[in-house]
Amino acid sequence: MSRIMADHNTEVKARAKTLVSQMTLDEKISQMLYNAAEIPRLGLPRYNWWNEALHGVARAGIATVFPQAIGLAASFDAGLLERIADIIATEGRAKHHESQRQGDRGMYKGLTFWSPNVNIFRDPRWGRGHETYGEDPYLTGRLGVAYIKGLQGDHPQYLKAAACAKHFAVHSGPEEVRHSFNAIASKKDLYETYLPAFRDCVIEGQVEAVMGAYNRVNGEPSCGSETLLKQILRGEWGFHGHVVSDCWAIKDFHEHHHVTSTIEESAALALNNGCDLNCGNVYLHLKSAYEQGLITEQTIDISITRLMETRIRLGLLDDEKQVPYTSIPYEVVECEEHLACARLAAEKSMVLLKNQGILPLKRDAVRSIAVIGPNADSRQALIGNYCGTASRYYTVLDGIREAVQPGTRIYYAEGCHLYKDRVEVLAEPKDRFAEALSVAERADVVVICLGLDASLEGEEGDVSNEYASGDRKHLQLPGLQQDLLETIHATGKPVILVLLSGSAIAVNWADEHVEAIVQAWYPGAEGGRAVASLLFGDSNPSGRLPVTFYRSVEELPDFCDYSMENRTYRYMMQEALYPFGYGLSYTTFQYERVDLAKMIYEQGQSVHLNILVKNEGKYAGEETVQLYVKALDASFRTPNWQLKGFRKVFLKPGEECLVSFCLTDEELALFDEEGAAVVEPGVFEAYIGGSQPDSRSIALTGRSPVCYRFEIQ
C-alpha cells in the first residue's frame, strides 16, 4: 500500500470515529439498517445502502444491460470484466448524482452495489447459478477481482463505487430451504472450493463489503458465524470493510434456524460476530438487546464506524466539488460506447458447442431462414435477473433480420410456450407446432431458439415456475421444447440450435442430430445482434464453458450434499456431455511446446511455462488458452486437475504468439483434509491448450493439450 493511501485510510478512520462519537445510541442504531436515517444536526443525509449491479446498474431504470454473469464468465476474459465494471460504476455515478439532484435517495439509487456473486455453481440445478462466474474457484476469483477493481476504481482517495462479494460463504441451494438449511462442508472443501474466490476478492480485490448468506454453515448461521466472519474473514484475511446481512437473513436465526430464541438474541449474535449492516429490520431491536446486556455500545461503535468509513470513501459526506466522479454527466448512461461494449461482451460470451460445417452461414447462399422457438423473440431470455432496463432490446429474431442481405426472407414462429403445453390458454396442446412446421418447410435453414429464462431459474420468492422455488428438478428442455426440436428436425432442413439459458441443459439428442449448437446464455440487450454476428461469421466464437454440461440429473449427487465428491470437472468421475472449458472456433489453433528451462524445482521457486500458439485456419479469431495443473503423487485426495491460468490471444490467419504462464506456490498448493494449503514434493503435470485434458474434450476438439512434467523437491 502506498504512503498516500495509508495516510488517507488513517484520516478516514479518524474522521469516521469523530463522527460516530457525536451520535446518540439511537442515532447509531438508525445508521445500521439498509435504509439509514438522516441526522440533520450532523449534516448526515439519509442513505439507502441497497443497490444491485450484477451485469449493469439494476432496478433503477435505464442502464446498459450486459450479458448475465454466467455469460461474462464464459468469456474467460478478466480485462473485459474490469472494463464492464468500470462502465457500470460510471453509469452508477451518473444515475446516483442525478437522482440526488432530483431529491431521490431511495432504494437502488446509492453507490453501494451488492455485486459480484462469487458463490461456486456446484450443482446445475441451483436456480441462482447464472448470477455466478461458474463452477471453478480459480476462474471465479480472477473474474471477481477484475470486477471489483473496475467497479471501485483506482482513485487514491475515493471509491468510484463500493463492491460487495456475496454470499459468504457456502451457498448454492437449494433455494426452497435456504432460510433453514445447514450446509455441511469439510475443511478441505471449505478452503479448496468455497472460500478461495472470497479470499481473492478480499485480499487482492480489496472489496469494500462482504454479504453473508441465508443458510447455516456447519451449524452456524452465515450472517452471525464466528468462524466465517471473525476467524476467517477478519482474522485470517484481515478484512477491514463492512459486512452486510442478506435481506432478512438475521430473522432466520430464531424463526427458521432456531439457534436463538428471540429477535434481540438474533441481533446480538449477528452484531457480536461482525455483521455491521442489516438488510432487514432486526437491527431495530439493537436498543432492546443493549438494554438486556446482550451487546455493548463499544461493539455498536465498531460497526457503525466501518459504515461511516465506506460513506466517506465514496465521497458521500464531502462537497461534490471535491469528488471527481460527481462530474460524470448523465448522458453517459447507455451511450454508444457502452452499448458497443455490451455487444462485444455478448459476442465473447457465446460458446459454439457443435458445428458440422454449417456455420458460419453465407449471406449470399441463404435466401430464407426460419427463426423458431419460444426464445427467438423473447426479451426475457436476453436479460436474466438482477438487471436494469434497456431503451432497446435486440432479440435473436431482431438480430437476424438486421444481419441478412436485402431480399432474404425471414419466417418466424413461436413454436411452443417456454414450459406450458400450449401458447394460447383456450387452444389445444401444441397449438403452434403446425405454424412452425410450415415456416421450416419454406426455409433454407432453421434457427431454433430454445432454453430457459429467469422465470424458470432464479431466486426463491423471485420466480414463479414449474420447478422448486427457482431451482430446477431436471436438466432437460422444459415443456414441449424437445418435442418441437425433433419435429422440426424431421423436416430434413438443416437445424441450428441456439440455447438461451443461465445453466447447463442436457441436450443429448441435439448433440447427436442437429447440425450446430450455440450456447448464448442470457446475452443482454444487444444479445440478438451478437447471436447473428456469430451465425454469419462477423465474429468468431471464443467463449468457453464456465460450467460442466452433464448428461442427466441422475448422475449428480444429492442436491443438498455439499461435498465436492463427484462434483464439477475437478472431481467428477463420469464423462461430461460438454466439459468445463470447452468451446469451438471457426478457425484452428495449433499449440507448439516450448521446452522447460529445467525439470526440477525447489519449493518456493516459480515454474515458468511457455507455449507457442498459431492460427492455422482461415478465420481471424481469439483463442482462450487454458492451463491446468495436476499433482501425480500427492499423499491425500486431490482434484483430477485444476485451472490455474488462462489467457486470451487474438490471431489472424497464419499469425502466432508466445504465451507465458508462471506457477508459484499459490498455484501449486494442494489442500489436505484439514484445509491446509500444502506444496508437497512430487511430480506435477501442467496441460496447456484450448481445453481441459479430459478424453471428452479431446474427442470434441480433435486436439490434446500440450503436457509439461516437472518435479518439486
Residues identified as active-site: 246, 457
Residues 6+ apart with CB under 8 A from 375: 381, 396, 418, 449, 450, 451, 453, 498, 500
H/E run at residue 682: strand 682-689
With H, G, I as helix, E, B as strand and everything else as coil, classify residue 399.
helix
C-alpha cell at 380: 426475457
Closest CA to 173 of 519, 557, 521: 557
- Contact of 216 with 226, CB cutoff 8 Å: no
> CA dist 406 to 397, 400, 446, 474, Å?
15, 12, 18, 42
* Rounded Cα distance, 64 and 345, in Å: 12
Q: Which burial class, exposed, middle or buried, applies to 713 when counting CB atoms under 10 A from its CB (0-12, 13-18, 19+)?
A: exposed
Closest CA to 49 of 36, 67, 66: 36
- Which residues on adjacent β-strands are paired with residue 500? 451
DSSP label at 578?
B
With H, G, I as helix, E, B as strand and everything else as coil, classify residue 385.
coil
Rounded to a whole number of angstroms, the distance between the first and last alpha carbons of the chain is: 34
DSSP of 10-65: HHHHHHHHHHHHTS-HHHHHHTSBSEEPPBGGGTB--EE--B--SSSS-SSSB---
* Rounded Cα distance, 380 and 302, in Å: 43
DSSP label at 240?
-
Residues 6+ apart with CB under 8 A from 581: 544, 545, 569, 624, 626, 643, 691, 692, 697
35-36 and 47-48: which strand pairing? antiparallel
Q: Any idea which residue has 468500470 for its cell?
A: 86
Angle between helices 336-349 and 527-535 (to 10 degrees): 50
Sheet containing strand 682-689, edge to edge, reads 600-601, 706-712, 682-689, 621-631, 642-651
C-alpha cell at 354: 457443435
H/E run at residue 349: helix 336-349
- Strands of 129-241, DSSP E: 164-168, 182-183, 209-212, 216-217, 220-221
- Contact of 383 with 559, CB cutoff 8 Å: no
> CA dist 503 to 54, 81, 133, 428, 553, Å?
16, 20, 11, 31, 13
242-244 and 209-212: which strand pairing? parallel
Where helices occur in 545-684 by DSSP H, the ranges are: 568-571, 665-668
